[in-house]
Amino acid sequence: MTGPLAGLRVIDFTHVLAGPACAYHLGLMGAEVIKVESPRGDAMRHRSGSDPARAARGMSTAYATQAAGKRVVVLDLDTPDGRAQMEDQLASADVLVENHRPETLDRLGLGWDGVHKRHPHIVHCAMTGYGRGHRLENAPAYDVNIQAASGLMAMTGTAATGPMRVGAPVIDYATALAAGFGICAALVERARTGRGRLVDVAMMDVALTLMSSTIVDHALTGNVPRPRGNAANSRSPSSGLFPCAEGHLSLGVNEASQFARLARVLGRGEWLEDARFGDPNARQINADALSTAIADRLLTRTAAEWEGDMLAAGVPAARLRTPAEAVAAARADDRPFLMDAGGAPTPAPPFRIGPLPQSLAPPQDLPRWPGPGDIA
C-alpha cells in the first residue's frame, strides 16, 4: 500500500463498528493493519446485515464493511502464549487501537499505563462510550445508547413521532473518524518527541460535538432544543424537505440572494415585492404561509425536474434519494463511494489524498488458533 500513512503499523484490537472502522480508514491511508481477534472472532462476524448465510459463516456484511485490507491474527489473550505474542506485535507497532472496557484492558495487561511503560513509542487510541475517568468508563455502550444519552435522539423526529434514532449509526462512524484525527495528531507529536500518547475518544463527546451549534445556542440563550422533523437547522421557512408531484426535494435557502433565485425558479417573482415575504424578518413572521406557498408550487412538477432547475439557478437543492440511488449517482459522476477489494465492495474514504487504493485485500476469514503463519 502507498499513501500518507505508508510504513506505519497499526494493531487493531477492536470489535463491533467504531473501532474497526477507525483502523480500516488508517489502512486506506496506507498503514499496515493487523486485526487481533480472539479464537471466537469478532462478534460482528456473525451478526447484523441482511444476509443470514454470510453471518452464519462469519462474514456478515456489517463485519466485511470495515475489514478489507487487514491481516487477521488470532490470539487467545487469556493464555500466556497469546499475551506474549501480543507483546511481539506491539514491539513493532506504531499504533494500538482498541475499544474495550478499561477494566478488561487492565486485566489483560494492555491498559495505557502498562503499554506505555513497555512500549513508550506507541500511540494508544482508546475508544469508550463515556471516556476514561468517567464514572461510566466501564459501561457497555452502543451507538443507539449514545444517541439517547446525548440528546440526539430527543432532537430527531417530530412532536407526533416522539424521539427517534437517526437512521444510520452516525455516532459510531463519527467516533471512528474522530479517533483517526486524534491518532494522526499524536503521530505528528511523536515525530517531535519520540513518545506516544493516549488518545482518549468518548462516543458521548463525539455525539455532543455533532450537536455543537445547538448546545452552544442553549448555553447562551436557554432555548430548549425541540425535534424539528425535516426542517433545516437554520430555521429558515424556505428550507426543509418538500413533497413534489413525484418524490421530495430538499431546499437549503437561507440567504436573501438564494430566496430571490428560488422565487424566480418557482415562477413567483412577485414574492420579492410581497410585504409578507420581501425581507427575512417578514418571512420568519409569515413562515407557515411561505412554507405552504412553496409546497403548493413544488407539487406541480417532479423532484427531479425541480432539482435540475434549482441547481442551474444556484439554489441549494437536492432530490431525496435512497442510499442505492446516491451510490449509483456517485459512480456516474466519477466520484465512486465503493471500491473493489478482491471482488468485494468496500467503502472509499470520505476525503481524497491522491488516487484511491488500487489493490485492497478482501476481508479475511478467521484463522485457526494457534495457526502457523499467523504471526509475523
What are the catalytic residues? 172
Q: Cβ(111)–Cβ(187) under 8 Å?
A: no
Q: Cβ(130)–Cβ(203) under 8 Å?
A: yes
- Nearest-angstrom CA–CA distance, 111 and 97: 12
Q: Cβ(41)–Cβ(55) under 8 Å?
A: no
Contacts 24+ apart (CB under 8 A), 278-286: 280/256, 283/236, 283/237, 283/238, 283/259, 284/235, 284/237, 286/237
- Nearest-angstrom CA–CA distance, 242 and 71: 47
Q: What is the grid cell recorded at 42? A: 469478532
CA-based end-to-end distance of the chain: 17
Comparing C-alpha atoms, which of 3, 304, 321 is closest to residue 331? 321
- Nearest-angstrom CA–CA distance, 30 and 353: 11
CA quadruple 315, 236, 304, 274: dihedral sign: negative
Non-local CB neighbours of 150 within 8 Å, separated by 6+ positions = 171, 204, 207, 208, 211
Non-local CB neighbours of 141 within 8 Å, separated by 6+ positions = 128, 129, 130, 149, 203, 204
Query: How many residues does this entry show for the chain?
Result: 376
Comparing C-alpha atoms, which of 358, 371, 362 is closest to residue 24? 362
The β-bridge partners of 34 are 11, 71
CA quadruple 356, 359, 365, 368: dihedral sign: negative
- Nearest-angstrom CA–CA distance, 332 and 214: 36
